[in-house]
Amino acid sequence: MIEDLIDSMEKAIQELEQQDHRKIALFHHNDSDGLTSGAILESAFERKGFNVQRFCLEKPYPGVLKKIYEQQGQTIVFTDFAGRIAPTISDLNQGKNLTLILDHHVAEPATDPRVHNLDPELYGLKGDRDITASTTCYLFACTMDAANRDLAHIAAIGAVGDGFFVDGRLASQNREVTLEAVRQGKVEIKEVNTGEQYFLKTAGGQINMEEYGAYLDTLGAAGYYKDGPDMGVRVCLEGISPESDQMLENLRQIQTTAFDGEVERLRKGALKNTPNIQWFHVENRFAPMGVKMIGAFCDMIKDTKDIDPKRYIAGFQIIRNEIPGFGPIQFDEVKISMRVSKYLADKIRLGEAMGLDVLLPEATSRLGGFSDACHRLTAATTVAIGKEEELIKEMEKILRTGF
């Protein structure tokens, strides 16, 4: 339970304090929960005199992990991802570096004693109900120093941004951290007939925290290769500014132009059809936006008239051979995002059609690709550039014959 999690955090902090240097490499996710997590940890570590190098990742790709673990004697922190791959990280680390994982996704225990998997899922909490990465980071920060309680509202933004509500209300630890921010006079909760709405009190007036979360999501995803995550972390720590508003406006325009252009292309015949799948490739046309955008684009078109409701939707986007701030890295991979129409979603729920959580990871693994977050109705994986058509064929094979 939570007490055991705090105990484990204390042990990890002790080990952190025993390191013979005060340097930390911090890797965080690029959505609102990941950005708030990054902001909380950066602040908490810097207050303790650590020199923090912060990197934002869309995913903890194997190639990136491999490069990170070429080092030794370092302190490495992951937040809002990596909980499930703690065994892989343990294998890469082999006692070389102190590693802390502050995630809230489904988790596996670490197998290297120097890898501390502080994912609350391992302590009986539910990451999709009780506690976000931001709240996990907040608990960690407060365990390090109670003075970090002033970061509660940042954790609350992440909690609202990740959108896990029970009867329209935040639950458990997410709720507690938000109530703490209310006590500090930084957040206000309003009762509405669907549950609660959360507002951040700022000098410029109250801001609905769902909108605040969406603001951060756009900076982190559409702005991924254009300093959006750095701006996002700044917005978490210092609030919205004219510069952040300007960046957001630019990014929204880039997204609209790119998405409209792609819809045009699909209408002009760029959508390819196989018996059960309709697919397309945006190559590099979504640059400088990150690969989260291929999923956002599939979401946008999935119930429009351009799409056959009976076929699965698949979109490909090339992953840039670069992690901002981390340097060039040779991925040579594409991301595939898949979605389904309302019609097909109902079929999947009834068990009359194969879920994407089965179809896509199976086909991907046959081609040696990387599967991370696959759910029944939304899924994404990566494969080597050039294997796109083969992946579609493999999925058709699975649909035809089962597996």
Instruction: Enumerate residues 6+ apart whose C-beta is below 8 A from 74.
Output: 23, 25, 97, 98
Output the smallest distance, CB 161 to Mn ion, in A.
8
Binding marks (x or -) toward Mn ion, 148..167, rule CB under 5 A?
--------------x-----
* Residues 288-327 as x/- pattern, contact with Mn ion by CB under 5 A: ----------------------------------------
| Sole window of 79-87, 201-209, 361-369, 388-396 interacting with Mn ion (rule: CB under 5 A) | 79-87
Min dist. Cβ of residue 79 to Mn ion (A): 9
**Residue 56 binds Mn ion, judged by CB under 5 A:** no
Count of residues for the chain?
403
Q: Which of residues 198-257 bind Mn ion (CB under 5 A)?
A: none
- State the burial class of residue 167 (Cβ atoms within 10 Å of its Cβ: 0-12, 13-18, 19+): exposed
- Cα 99 from Cα 75, distance rounded (Å): 6
CB neighbour class for 18 (10 Å; exposed up to 12, middle 13-18, buried from 19): exposed
Question: Measured in whole angstroms, how far is the alpha carbon of residue 148 from the centre of its chain?
Answer: 24
Contacts of residue 205, Cβ cutoff 8 Å, sequence gap at least 6: none
Shortest approach of Mn ion to residue 105 CB, angstroms? 7
Q: Which is nearer to Mn ion, 135 or 341 (CB)?
A: 135
Closest residue to Mn ion, judged by C-beta, is: 33
Q: Name the DSSP letter for residue 106.
A: S
Judged by CB, which is closer to Mn ion: 80, or 394?
A: 80
Nearer to Mn ion, 133 or 271 (CB): 133
If the CB atoms of residues 122 and 133 are measured against Mn ion, the closer one turns out to be 133
Handedness of CA 222, 226, 229, 234 (dihedral sign): negative
Partners of 79 in beta bridges: 28, 102
Q: Residue 31 Cβ, how far from Mn ion at the closest point, in Å?
A: 7
Q: Which is nearer to Mn ion, 38 or 369 (CB)?
A: 38
Provide the terminal-to-terminal Cα distance of the chain, rounded to the nearest Å.
39
The SS3 assignment for 45 reads helix
CB of 220 to Mn ion, least distance (A): 12
Closer to Mn ion by CB, 82 or 142: give it: 82
State both tokens at 289.
């936006």
Residue with Cβ nearer Mn ion (28 or 281): 28
Nearer to Mn ion by Cβ, of 29 and 153: the residue is: 29
> How near is the Cβ of 226 to Mn ion at its closest, in Å?
22
Judged by CB under 5 A, the stretch of 3-11, 41-49, 78-86, 258-266 that binds Mn ion is: 78-86
In this structure, are residues 82 and 89 in contact, taking their beta carbons and an 8 Å threshold?
yes
* Total of residues contacting Mn ion (CB under 5 A): 4
- Say which DSSP state 197 is in: E
In the bound state with Mn ion, the residue whose beta carbon lies nearer, of 217 and 262, is 217
CB of 243 to Mn ion, least distance (A): 26
Q: Does 80 bind Mn ion (CB under 5 A)?
A: yes
* Smallest distance, Mn ion to C-beta of residue 178, A: 16
Site residues for Mn ion, 2-41, by CB under 5 A, read: 33
- CA-to-CA separations, 281 to 135, 149, 198, 301, in angstroms, rounded: 37, 46, 39, 14
Q: Where are the beta strands (DSSP E) in 319-390?
A: 322-323, 327-328, 333-339, 370-374, 378-384
Instruction: Write down the least CB distance from residue 390 to Mn ion, Å.
Output: 32
Residue closer to Mn ion by CB (options 80, 130) is: 80
The helix/strand/coil state of 170 is coil
Which tokens is 41 given? 């940890």
Report the C-alpha gap between 343 and 310 in whole angstroms: 7
The single-letter code of the amino acid at 258 is: A
In the complex, least distance from residue 33 CB atom to Mn ion, rounded to whole angstroms? 3
With CB under 5 A as the contact rule, the residue among 133, 155, 159, 392 that binds Mn ion is 133
Taking CB under 5 A as the binding criterion, the range among 128-136, 168-176, 217-225, 372-380 that sits at the site for Mn ion is 128-136
Residue 18 neighbours by CB under 8 Å, 6+ apart: none
- Least distance from C-beta 139 to Mn ion, angstroms? 14
Q: Which is nearer to Mn ion, 121 or 162 (CB)?
A: 162
Give the footprint of Mn ion on this chain (CB under 5 A). 33, 80, 133, 162
